[in-house]
Chains A and B, each alone.
Chain A
Amino acid sequence: GAGVSQSPSNKVTEKGKDVELRCDPISGHTALYWYRQSLGQGLEFLIYFQGNSAPDKSGLPSDRFSAERTGGSVSTLTIQRTQQEDSAVYLCASSLGPPDTQYFGPGTRLTVL
């Protein structure tokens, strides 16, 4: 079956612009996660959704970052007023629910000029 998909695969934006990143989880997976990987770093947890609610937003680095999930499926991560330090690969994962294995998408590479 289809895995986790993310779009766009690459995004180049100018400092100060808003961006939206999309994640389509594996069908039937109720849990959805966002991580980011900055250059030379490990993956950093951002937010976790169970259904449409987000019981853990503890990893969002600032109030410029927000995420939503609709219909228990697609999720959008929005970064407002992007800064150069936001440049990273943003990865989405889904699972049947913790602690079930998380399956990752290919990521969106965000570059803020």
Chain B
Amino acid sequence: DQQVKQNSPSLSVQEGRISILNCDYTNSMFDYFLWYKKYPAEGPTFLISISSIKDKNEDGRFTVFLNKSAKHLSLHIVPSQPGDSAVYFCAASGVVTGTASKLTFGTGTRLQVTL
């Protein structure tokens, strides 16, 4: 039972364009969402997070949007750079329900930014 789903295993975007990575979740108890980036042979690196009390959070080139009614979030990267090429994982937890310690991850989307 995959509670966090990233339905696109890969995405290719030209340098300078916008990258949009999508994530869907099924557990309505999730109230905190994160995006991690992973390069080969390295551990995941935290990128950005959003609480369910917000619908948008921005940090430089990275913006995360949350649509609670649709149980959907997305990560926008603008402009995309070749160094952004990595696997991106969406993760969720339930802070209010006391499961903040347990992140539930999607299967990842491999982003390739081409020149």
A residues neighboring B (CB under 8 Å): 4, 31, 33, 35, 40-45, 48, 50, 55-56, 58-59, 91, 93, 98-99, 101-107
Contacts and interface: CB of A to CB of B under 8 A. Distances in A.
Contacts of B49: 101
B44 A104 contact: yes
Interface of B: 4, 6, 32, 34, 36, 41-46, 49, 89, 91, 93, 95, 100-108
Nearest to A33: B101
Contacts of A104: 36, 43-45
A48 B46 contact: no
Nearest to A31: B101
B90 to A, nearest CB: 9
Contacts of A50: 101
A56 B102 contact: yes
Nearest to A104: B43
B41 A58 contact: no
Nearest to A101: B46
Contacts of B107: 40-42
B9 to A, nearest CB: 9
Nearest to B46: A101
Contact of A99 (B89, B93, B108): B93
Contacts of A102: 46, 103
Contacts of B41: 106
B43 A42 contact: no
B46 A42 contact: no
A91 B43 contact: yes
A55 to B, nearest CB: 8
A94 to B, nearest CB: 11
Contact of B105 (A43, A55, A99): A43
A43 B93 contact: no
A36 B34 CA distance: 18
Contacts of A41: 107
Contacts of A31: 101
Q: Ordered nearest first, which 7 A-B pairs have the shortest CB separation?
A: A104-B43, A98-B100, A42-B105, A99-B100, A43-B105, A98-B101, A48-B101
